[in-house]
Structure 1
Amino acid sequence: MVKNSLIIKFDHGVLDASSTDSLCISKKVNGIYNVVFDNASPRPKVGQKKLLTNNTFKFTTDYQVYFTQDYENDALINSATDPKDIAPGQYVEWKENDLTEAAKADVSLLTADQAKGSFVIKNAPKQFHAAVKASTGKSWTTIFVDPNQHMGGGTITLTPKNEYVLYWYNLADTEYIHEVFEGDAFKFSFPPGDSTRTIRFGYATQDQPADGSESPAFYVVD
């Protein structure tokens, strides 16, 4: 397990206290971003974090898998099964209307290279969509729902990546599906061997807009 800390700072004057937008964080799984796993807002809704000048978001690489019956953009994710803990190189299987506990996958399910970063659901029923949760250290939040329909009884390989996006959105919330267009988002990752990343939202020169036409943007600090 890796414990990641994402620090987001704001230049003076760019954090609009009247804005209802949320700063959203999504993680890439199976090549796409489609669930907001954490967010915060200058005007938070009930249970939402409030954005301040300095903000820290914490999450880990502990995972769980489960099934949901529906996939619809901007729709609430409804669990159809209980989640099961899983780690790269492991698999769970659908048996007797439930997922088994995780076990080590053999090479027929995952090659040695795949086992370093992927896990598998075996014998997946056709009517369900596979979903992945990650831990914040205190709770679990969904990071991905497979949008694809699969043949019944097949295997679904799930690969979380060290790739994330930040973006502003006025409707996004956790435990909702929200398909992210990468071109509209700021991409970042954690450097090898480093579990902390600091990102600033502001101007190219901190606290100093070049002129009235410069819009604030995201910048990696370290």
Structure 2
Amino acid sequence: MTAAYGRILLKLSGEALMGDDAYGINPAMLASIVAEVKSVADLGVEIGVVIGGGNIFRGVAGTATGMDRATADYMGMLATVMNAMALSDAMRQAGLNGRVQSALNIEQVVEPYIRGKAIRYLEEGKIVIFAAGTGNPFFTTDTAAALRGSEIGAEIVLKATKVDGIYTADPKQDPLATRFARISFDEAIGRDLKVLDSTAFALCRDQKLPINVFSIFKPGALKRIVMGEDEGTLVHV
């Protein structure tokens, strides 16, 4: 079996780790995600992962209680480090070799982000988990995924969500809504589709880095995308 992509950047939200729980990390969901990643790693695909922290702390929500936005965002970055460590440990238990690199320096806990070292790890078959977003407040982990994907030379950004692609309307509200198999960046902009946040979307468009939006809850979806099958929605130049 030959994969359609040799190097990918997987964007996981913190909420993906929650499963049916109200907050925190659901062990069964974590194990399921790792199994999906392993099925792709076993094909020889090089994998980078950017993970969010919304299941532990949602940075922007802190402003609702009067917290300074920058402070809230830094707290959110620390939450992503916690998620990255949990994901790395679950990978170890599954026989995968994961490395966590953080945009914030916490060297007693995880490695600092160094682009050259990250690329070397990928070439060695290790999975690199990028934590702490971009290391700057006011930038989301979507932007971190677009940035890290561009830096490591990923061929595609795979955004894992709860929905199996981009639809013409909200499928929960409109039973006639249909999924786009493919859509161009320009058309996505014209239709005002919320693929990634605007900064991340613009970066992917400018770098000609395609995006696939898919459901991480759909068994085998990640592998089908990597194999070039019709899964999720491909956003392309």
- Asked if Structure 1 and Structure 2 have the same fold, meaning a TM-score greater than 0.5 normalized by the shorter chain, the answer is no
Q: TM-score, normalised by structure 2?
A: 0.23
TM, length-normalised to structure 1: 0.25
Larger-Rg structure: 1
> Greater relative contact order: 1 or 2 (C-alpha under 8 angstroms, separation 6 or more)?
1
Greater percentage in helix? 2
